[in-house]
């Protein structure tokens, strides 16, 4: 052990070889970290890139190459417009400007992939700030949400459409009826609700079975679709009951003509499932605002008119309150 009176030994000078070895180890550690980060980025099944403030790509993960067919190494250093085009960038510009101001930006878009066109995507730009708060650039994260959107749309459609005929169900019809009432009230216009019930349908089920009955309902729905106007909404609200929401007419006679065409279309239904049997239809009509100003009243009045039509011989259409004596 050195004593206070013993001079300390001078440190051994670091040789150039030692310094080179130390630097090589540091570089190897940096390279290993870089390789790990690159591996992580390339393992993510979404588009990830980094765009500098001058709007040039600095990093792109492997997804750009796999999904877009572009060489990512060639993309690095290129301006964003060289990838998305001038017109494409014009659509992105407001989002890019917000990111460069320091905002976290998220929006939905559509883009073409290499083998899949018109894909729904969710895009996020996250600003990269220096210590002094200056925005140096932003990361880009693009996630394909097409399958999710289609699943959501399918669930929404199943909740609002009849599974047998694919017509709107009672829930969707009620919603549209309320919207039409609001529009008609603002514009001072009229519209009609037609309640349609099949005649002799029970006999079809009893004689031919429910499978044949289901096919007849599908055929009725298809036939009525071809009879009504594009502006009309046809729905199945249960059993053999259908309702029609008819807008854009000038006179009640136009509604009556449409109802008579529907009666004729059902009475001449070309359905092989019927075999030798026949079905018909009775239709009740309620006009807004003459017969009611709310959804429930209009449906009740149309239903009442339909029962009057059945009691007076079936296969016909009546307006509410105008039944023959």
Chosen CATH of 161-319 out of 3.40.50.11690, 3.40.50.10860, 3.30.950.10, 3.30.70.270: 3.30.70.270
pLDDT 10s digits, 61-90:
988 888 888 888 888 999 999 988 999 899
- Helices 170-187 + 295-311 axis angle, to 10: 110
Report the pLDDT averaged over residues 133-162: 93
CA distance 208 to 15: 101
Sign of the CA dihedral running 288, 292, 293, 294: negative
CATH superfamily of 45-148: PAS domain (3.30.450.20)
Q: What pLDDT score does 32 carry?
A: 80
Q: What pLDDT score does 34 carry?
A: 77
Contact 145, 116 (CB under 8 A): no
Q: What pLDDT score does 256 carry?
A: 94
CB count within 10 Å of CB 63 equals: 21
Question: From the candidates 162, 219, 232, 240, which is the catalytic residue?
Answer: 240
Q: Is 174 an annotated catalytic residue?
A: no
Token pair 């976290």 is at which residue?
A: 104
- Indicate whether 95 pLDDT > 70: yes
Q: What pLDDT score does 241 carry?
A: 95
Enumerate residues 6+ apart whose C-beta is below 8 A from 254.
Answer: none
Q: Which residues pair with 79 in a beta bridge?
A: 56
Token pair 């079905």 is at which residue?
A: 279
Report the pLDDT averaged over residues 231-242: 94
- Indicate whether 44 pLDDT > 90: no
Specify the higher pLDDT residue, 107 or 36: 107
The confidence band for 2, taking pLDDT boundaries of 50, 70 and 90, is low
pTM exceeding 0.75: no
The confidence band for 43, taking pLDDT boundaries of 50, 70 and 90, is confident
- Summary mean pLDDT of the chain: 89
Residue-range domain boundaries for the chain: 45-148, 161-319
Report the pLDDT averaged over residues 154-161: 92
- Indicate whether 35 pLDDT > 80: no
Q: What pLDDT score does 17 carry?
A: 75
Q: What pLDDT score does 184 carry?
A: 92
Q: What pLDDT score does 206 carry?
A: 86
Share of the chain above pLDDT 70, in %: 96
């Amino acid at each position: 052990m050195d004593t206070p009176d013993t001079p300390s030994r001078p440190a051994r000078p670091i040789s150039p070889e030692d310094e080179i070895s130390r630097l090589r180890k540091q570089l190897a550690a940096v390279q290993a970290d870089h390789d790990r980060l690159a591996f992580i980025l390339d393992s993510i099944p979404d588009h990830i890139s980094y765009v500098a403030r001058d709007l040039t790509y600095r990093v792109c993960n492997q997804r750009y190459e796999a999904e877009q067919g572009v060489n990512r190494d060639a993309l690095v250093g290129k301006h964003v417009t060289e990838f998305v085009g001038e017109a494409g960038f014009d659509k992105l510009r407001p989002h890019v400007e917000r990111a460069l101001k320091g905002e976290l930006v998220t929006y939905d878009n559509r883009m073409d992939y290499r083998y899949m066109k018109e894909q729904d995507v969710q895009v996020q730009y996250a600003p990269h700030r220096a210590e002094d708060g200056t925005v140096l650039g932003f990361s880009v994260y693009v996630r394909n949400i097409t399958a999710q959107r289609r699943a959501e749309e399918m669930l929404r459609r199943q909740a609002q459409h009849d599974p047998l005929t694919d017509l709107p169900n009672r829930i969707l019809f009620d919603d549209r009826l309320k919207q039409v009432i609001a529009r008609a009230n603002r514009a001072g216009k009229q519209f009609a609700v037609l309640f349609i019930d099949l005649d002799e349908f029970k006999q079809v089920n009893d004689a031919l079975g429910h499978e044949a009955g289901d096919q007849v309902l599908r055929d009725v729905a298809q036939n009525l679709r071809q009879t009504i106007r594009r502006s009309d909404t046809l729905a199945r609200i249960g059993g053999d009951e259908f309702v029609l929401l008819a807008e854009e007419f000038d006179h009640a006679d136009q509604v009556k003509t449409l109802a008579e065409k529907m009666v004729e279309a059902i009475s001449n239904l070309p359905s092989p499932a019927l075999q030798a049997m026949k079905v018909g239809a009775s239709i009740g009509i309620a006009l807004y605002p003459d017969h009611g100003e709310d959804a429930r009243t209009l449906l009740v009045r149309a239903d009442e008119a339909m029962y009057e039509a059945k009691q007076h011989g079936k296969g016909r259409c009546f307006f509410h309150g105008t039944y023959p004596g």
